[in-house]
Amino acid sequence: MIETGKKNEKGLLVAVGLKSEPDEKLKEMMNELAFLTQTLSIDVLGEFTQKLEYPDPRTFVGKGKLEDIKAACRVDKIDVVVFDDDLSPSQLRNLERELKVKIYDRSLLILDIFLKRAKTAQAKTQVELARFRYLLPRLTRMWTHLERQKGGTATRGGAGEKEIETDRRIIRDQITLLRKKLEKIEKQSNTRRKSRKGIVRVALVGYTNAGKSTLMNLLGKDKVYAKDELFATVDSTVRKVVLNHLPFLLSDTVGFIRKLPHDLIESFKSTLAEIKEADILLHVIDASNPSHEDHIKIVDETLSEMGASDISTIRVFNKMDNVNESPVQNRNGLSTYISAKKGTGIEELRALLTKEVKKIHMKIYPHYIRPEVY
- Ranges 100-109, 144-153, 212-221, most confident: 100-109
Residues 167 and 283 in one domain: no
Within a domain: 97? yes
pTM of the model: 0.77
Residues 181 and 209 in one domain: no
pLDDT greater at residue 333 or residue 50: 50
203: number of Cβ within 10 Å: 27
Phi and psi (nearest 5°) for 65? -65, -35
Within a domain: 2? no
Residues 293 and 247 in one domain: yes
| Confidence label for 192 from pLDDT (cuts 50, 70 and 90) | low
182: number of Cβ within 10 Å: 20
pLDDT higher than 60, residue 5: no
Cα 345 to chain centroid distance, Å, stands at 27
The answer to whether the CB of 226 falls within 8 A of the CB of 232 is: yes
Residues 33 and 133 in one domain: no
Residues 346 and 242 in one domain: yes
Within a domain: 19? yes
Residues 173 and 229 in one domain: no
The answer to whether the CB of 349 falls within 8 A of the CB of 338 is: yes
Within a domain: 111? no
pLDDT (0 to 100) of residue 237: 76
Whole-number Å distance between alpha carbons of 230 and 292: 15
pLDDT higher than 50, residue 229: no
Residue 188 identity (one-letter amino acid):
Q
Residues 128 and 160 in one domain: yes
Least confident of 52-66, 136-150, 196-210: 136-150
pLDDT (0 to 100) of residue 195: 60
The answer to whether the CB of 232 falls within 8 A of the CB of 117 is: yes
CATH code of the domain covering residue 19: 3.40.50.11060
pLDDT greater at residue 130 or residue 368: 130
30-58: per-residue pLDDT in tens? 999 998 898 888 999 999 999 999 999 99
Residues 148 and 127 in one domain: yes
pLDDT higher than 70, residue 194: no
Residues 317 and 234 in one domain: yes
Burial class (CB in 10 A: 0-12, 13-18, 19+), 40: middle
Whole-number Å distance between alpha carbons of 114 and 110: 6
Residues 183 and 143 in one domain: yes
Residue 144 identity (one-letter amino acid):
T
The answer to whether the CB of 182 falls within 8 A of the CB of 270 is: yes
Sheet holding 9-18, edge to edge: 42-52, 9-18, 80-83, 102-104
Element (H, E) at 240: strand 237-243
Burial 312-351 (b: 16+ CB within 10 A, else e): ebbbbbbbbeebeeebeebeeebbbbbbbbeeebbeebbe
Residues 220 and 358 in one domain: yes
Domain membership of residue 132 as a residue range: 117-195
Within a domain: 219? yes
Round the average pLDDT of the chain to a whole number and report it.
82
pLDDT (0 to 100) of residue 76: 96
Within a domain: 165? yes
Angle between helices 269-276 and 121-135 (to 10 degrees): 120
Least confident of 179-193, 237-251, 337-351: 179-193
Percent pLDDT > 70 in the chain is: 79
* Counted domains in the chain: 3
Percent pLDDT > 90 in the chain is: 39
The answer to whether the CB of 345 falls within 8 A of the CB of 320 is: yes
Within a domain: 93? yes
Task: Enumerate the H helices of 50-160 as residue ranges.
Answer: 63-76, 89-99, 106-117, 121-135, 145-149
Phi and psi (nearest 5°) for 183? -60, -40
Residues 253 and 322 in one domain: yes
Burial 83-105 (b: 16+ CB within 10 A, else e): bbbbbeeebbbbbbebbebbbbb
The answer to whether the CB of 258 falls within 8 A of the CB of 32 is: yes
| DSSP codes, 350-371 | HHHHHHHHHHHHHHH-GGGS-G
